[in-house]
């Protein structure tokens, strides 16, 4: 059921000021029906946060393949401890590690809907927390270190996971507050 009305002039769609919002759109913005709170350009905060995290992963994934941004680029290997390349001279990377970052850039697509953004931020944050835990548990010189990870990576992964989970929870809280006012 739609609350849209046809105006008298040129067939434009107009809604009287007393009309209720269309059930097809979310009062929180974004048009996804998933809420997320209002933000910029009709996107919810969840969608904005998801897009920012996705862009961060895209830039780090691409940067891992660019000499100069990645030091010891000539030592970049497919996977494992053989790769001594470091993104911005700090974070150990390999081709596989860069591909994982590029896969996490899916947040750019998740930003299309608030519900996808919520799943991406919370689920991705939990996933990265698992990667951080794995990195702290394994011996960095062993074959178990297939990504490869170093201490800087581990602390970065804790920060990324925390940021993703917190941004997801903040986006959810804002969406609930926005929906309760509507």
Give 30-63 pLDDT, tens digit per residue: 444 445 555 667 889 999 999 999 999 999 999 9
Give per-residue pLDDT as tens, 138-166: 999 999 999 999 999 999 999 999 999 99
- pLDDT at residue 10 is higher than 60: no
Q: What pLDDT is recorded for position 38?
A: 59
> Is residue 175 within 8 Å of 167, Cβ to Cβ?
no
- pLDDT at residue 4 is higher than 80: no
Give per-residue pLDDT as tens, 63-86: 999 999 999 999 999 998 889 999
Give the tokens for residue 174.
């804002």
Give per-residue pLDDT as tens, 102-137: 999 999 999 999 999 999 999 999 999 999 999 999
């Amino acid at each position: 059921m739609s609350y849209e009305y046809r105006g008298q002039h040129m067939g434009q769609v107009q809604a009287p000021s007393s009309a209720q919002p269309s059930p097809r759109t979310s009062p929180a913005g974004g048009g996804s029906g998933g809420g997320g709170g209002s933000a910029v350009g009709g996107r919810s905060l969840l969608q904005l946060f998801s897009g920012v995290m996705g862009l961060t992963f895209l830039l780090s994934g691409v940067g891992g393949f660019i000499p100069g941004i990645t030091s010891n680029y000539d030592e970049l290997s497919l996977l494992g401890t053989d790769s001594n390349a470091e993104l911005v001279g700090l974070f150990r990377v390999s081709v596989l590690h860069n591909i994982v970052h590029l896969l996490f850039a899916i947040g750019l697509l998740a930003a299309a809907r608030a519900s996808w953004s919520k799943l991406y931020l919370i689920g991705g944050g939990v996933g990265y927390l698992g990667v951080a835990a794995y990195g702290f548990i394994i011996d960095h010189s062993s074959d178990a270190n297939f990504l490869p990870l170093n201490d800087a990576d581990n602390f970065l992964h804790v920060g990324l996971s925390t940021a993703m989970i917190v941004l997801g929870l903040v986006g959810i809280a804002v969406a609930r507050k926005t929906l309760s006012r509507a």
